[in-house]
Amino acid sequence: MCGRFAQVVKHNQLKKLIDELNIRNQDEQIELNFNVAPTHPIGAVMYKHEDRFLTFFRWGLIPGWSKEPSTQYSMINVRSESILEKKTFKNALLRRRCLIPATGFYEWRKPDKQPFFIHAKDDELLLMAGITEYWNGSDGSYIQSAAIITTNANDFMKPIHERMPVILPPDTWESWLTDSFQDPASLQSFLKPCADDILASYPVRKLVNSVNVNSEECLKPMV
């Protein structure tokens, strides 16, 4: 499960992201969001033919067949283990993948509901695996949405939670962002827990529980 994350991309991190992923087009600067919640706009890297884009999606996948963009059908997470079992998710995995940069993500320890912030040990961005969808309304409205793919927790995460987002290592980025790469088995093989030694965590204050709080206080360690 990944129900909240932080997308606080600094200028030098954005430049590095653009260079490493060969991004040729980008929308406006990613807005700083210390407490990204469902339905919030999120920046993500996607592909279209030969181009790589940094663009924005609503967090919460809205199936194209949905009659309206209701939260009843939107999904912020999609389980890696069953992603090939449903046509909507399988098609998105094969044809509409994205990488979602994150400063880190929040998770709540089950016994005491204590929130933790999980981030890269070297403080680089985490690139989470995502899928996207496009919804067109009868009135001409248009929404592009995205979901984060989750997997079983690695040993580092298990004391906090049994699930975690799929964090893709650099050697998979090129394949993930190549639209001609559509082998289901190969793609699913990427969807596994990341290495234990790349992550670090610390407890944060419970003000992050509120979707209405979006400030750097969310990221500060609890003292």
Burial 70-89 (b: 16+ CB within 10 A, else e): eeebbbbbbbbeebbeeebb
pLDDT of 137: 74
Radius of gyration of the chain (CA): 17
pLDDT of 175: 95
Rounded Cα gap, residues 205 and 187, in angstroms: 37
Instruction: Please tell me the total number of residues recorded for the chain in this structure.
Output: 223
Rounded Cα gap, residues 104 and 93, in angstroms: 23
For residue 167, give Cα distances in angstroms to 135, 143, 152: 26, 25, 12
Q: Contact 45/114 with Cβ under 8 angstroms?
A: no
pLDDT of 71: 57
Residue 76 binned pLDDT confidence (cut-offs 50, 70, 90): very high
Q: Is 107 a catalytic residue?
A: yes
Per DSSP, the three-state class of 19 is helix
Looking at 98, 107, 194, 218, which residue is catalytic? Answer: 107
pLDDT for residue 116 is more than 70: yes
pLDDT of 69: 66
Mean pLDDT of 101-107: 98
Greater model confidence, 37 or 135 = 37
Cβ atoms within 10 A of the Cβ of 3, count? 15
- Which residue is it, tokens 């610390």? 202
Percent of the chain with pLDDT over 90: 77
Identify the DSSP state of 75: B
**Domain topology for 4-219:** hypothetical protein yedk fold (3.90.1680)
pLDDT of 142: 86
Per DSSP, the three-state class of 18 is helix
- 65-69, 102-106, 138-142: range with highest mean pLDDT: 102-106
Mean pLDDT of 64-77: 72
pLDDT of 64: 76
